[in-house]
Amino acid sequence: MKLESYLSGTWQSGQGDGRTFVNPVTGEELGRVDASGLDAAAAMDYARDVGGPALRALGFAERAALLKAVAGVLAENRDRYGEIARLNSGNTAIDAAIDIDGAIATLKVYARLGASLGDARTIIEPGREQLAREPVFFARHVWNSRPGVSLHINAFNFPAWGLWEKAAVALLAGVPSLSKPATATAWLAVEMMRDVAAAQVVPEGALNLLCGDGAALTTALQPMDSLAFTGSAETAAALRAHPAVLERAPRLSIEADSINATILGPDVSPDSPLFDLAVREVVKALTVKAGQLCTNIRRILVPAAIVGAFQDAVVARLSTVTVGDPAAEGVRMGPLVNEAQREAACAGLAGLSTETRTLCGGGAPKEVAGADPQQGSFLAPTLLHCADPMAARLIHETEVFGPCATVMACQPAEAPALAARGGGSLAVSLFSNDASYAAETLQVLAPWHGRLLIVDEQVGRNHTGHAIVMPQCVHGGPGRAGGGEELGGLRGLRLHLQRSALQASEPLLTRIGDAAAVATL
């Protein structure tokens, strides 16, 4: 099987052999991905010239209807997607649901948000600014669709959600998208796009997909375009320095590496509900999607008095987790996406071993259910302990992108500063009923994190999870995490809309507002 790209309104195949993608349970080759010989610049032009005008001719509510229709097509084919996720990503049923159902849910959320804006094609901010001494000259700020294309470069761990969460916001904003999925798991993105294209539920040129090397796409970026990237800090740095980005200044949103943390407050004791809730969340971090989530917990900051009890509780629960082929009965955790990712994770573990000791895991499991541990890309859930987190460096700098987290004992007053040593993260969570401690802690945590989850006993198990990204909330983080921002409800539209100051007399501003189709945020 050789995956095709959907460009300029047609399915096209690259001219070379390309790279392989595999079944991570067996190492068996599933197919190849290649984009050599494809005209990426022409595809970007087609999206701008054909898809862009068609979308901008629609109001927000009409674009929202497109998103609802896309969600409907994907829902109809849900079971087939789950099988692809198992074969190509090693996903359990729960893993696949987070990715696939999360994608469909995000489309539906943005469909509802878009419907609330009605027939408008312009957004006007509330309020006005008087600019002259006499009340005759005023300003208002308006948002309009940029006449470009939104280029999306996605990570391997969420081939469904990564594709559609970015495309949903761009389409609602009236901007066509061109998505480049990661080669390792591109199969699912291709099948989803194939179904949507066949259903003809969006204007031609509005959705585009390139499988394979996407370097030519970046070169083709123009001033009105945007680039949303999810991946490594190394690749992000190369994108920031790309000549097309420096010369033409397209919008840039980056989500990169993130050493996320969770904190247990000073009021948490081994016999408290919060203790069990925190243990449960850490076990999820070490098993769901084999730990391959950008927002996952990597550092666990625990009061020194209870650190022994906490890590013992986590290890005990991990001992009951069955690792293996997701198709086998009772398996709760599958493999990493391929052997290259396992090798990278093992290299990271080797580096962390200079500052930690291993409490459980640390390498390939001795036995896996329904598979050969030597053939598949399996890594045992790994819990490490760092005795001196204040003196350590690597635990705050190294992201092992897999089922690995480090427990460290600290005083409650030290925890916020330790969390901030991640250099900027996507998410941090705090388990505490102590409102004073939470308020004081947030003063330090908030500037360093894109999202803060506080779990008290009233929330209990009703929270959505440390790692789960909700479309109503912003997703992204400062510093090392890339400095980008996605989603956040209608806030996400700002990557694709141009804000302009509109200066005129009050009567003229009013008449313009009446004549144009506008919505007020």
pLDDT in tens, 205-226: 999 999 999 899 999 999 999 9
Do 248 and 267 belong together in one domain?
Answer: no
Do 26 and 136 belong together in one domain?
Answer: yes
Do 437 and 508 belong together in one domain?
Answer: no
Domain-located, residue 344: yes
Do 178 and 269 belong together in one domain?
Answer: no
What mean pLDDT do residues 231-254 have?
94
The per-residue pLDDT for 516 is 58
Q: Which of 211, 294, 386, 410 is catalytic?
A: 294
The per-residue pLDDT of the chain, averaged, comes to 94
Do 29 and 64 belong together in one domain?
Answer: yes
Do 93 and 49 belong together in one domain?
Answer: yes
Domain that holds residue 305: 260-472
Domain-located, residue 159: yes
The distance between the two most distant Cα atoms of the chain, rounded to a whole number of Å, is 80
Do 211 and 267 belong together in one domain?
Answer: no
Q: Say what percent of the chain tops pLDDT 70.
A: 98
Residue 51 and residue 339: Cα distance in Å, rounded?
A: 39
Do 387 and 371 belong together in one domain?
Answer: yes
Retrieve residue 13's tokens: 């195949």
Do 421 and 286 belong together in one domain?
Answer: yes
The domain tally of the chain equals: 2
Domain-located, residue 401: yes
Do 283 and 407 belong together in one domain?
Answer: yes
The per-residue pLDDT for 517 is 57
Active-site residue 294, yes or no? yes
CATH number at residue 454: 3.40.309.10
CB contact burial 389-423 (16+ within 10 A = b; e otherwise): beebeebbebbbbbbbbbbbbbebebbbebbbbbb
Categorize the per-residue pLDDT at 520 as very low, low, confident or very high, splitting at 50, 70 and 90.
low
Do 124 and 32 belong together in one domain?
Answer: yes
Domain-located, residue 70: yes
Domain-located, residue 249: yes
Active-site residue 255, yes or no? yes
Best CA proximity match to 368, nearest among 24, 6, 10, 4: 24
Contact assessment for residue 265 and residue 305, using Cβ atoms and an 8 Å cutoff: no
Domain-located, residue 422: yes
DSSP structure class, residue 448 = G
Domain-located, residue 490: yes
What are the tens digits of pLDDT across the range 37-78? 999 999 999 999 999 999 999 999 999 999 999 999 999 999
Q: Say what percent of the chain tops pLDDT 90.
A: 89
Do 381 and 439 belong together in one domain?
Answer: yes
What are the tens digits of pLDDT across the range 363-421? 999 889 999 888 899 999 999 999 999 999 999 999 999 999 999 999 999 999 999 99
Domain-located, residue 478: no
What type of residue sits at position 389?
Answer: P
Residue 330 and residue 338: Cα distance in Å, rounded?
A: 22
Q: Which of 4, 165, 255, 486 is catalytic?
A: 255
Categorize the per-residue pLDDT at 515 as very low, low, confident or very high, splitting at 50, 70 and 90.
low
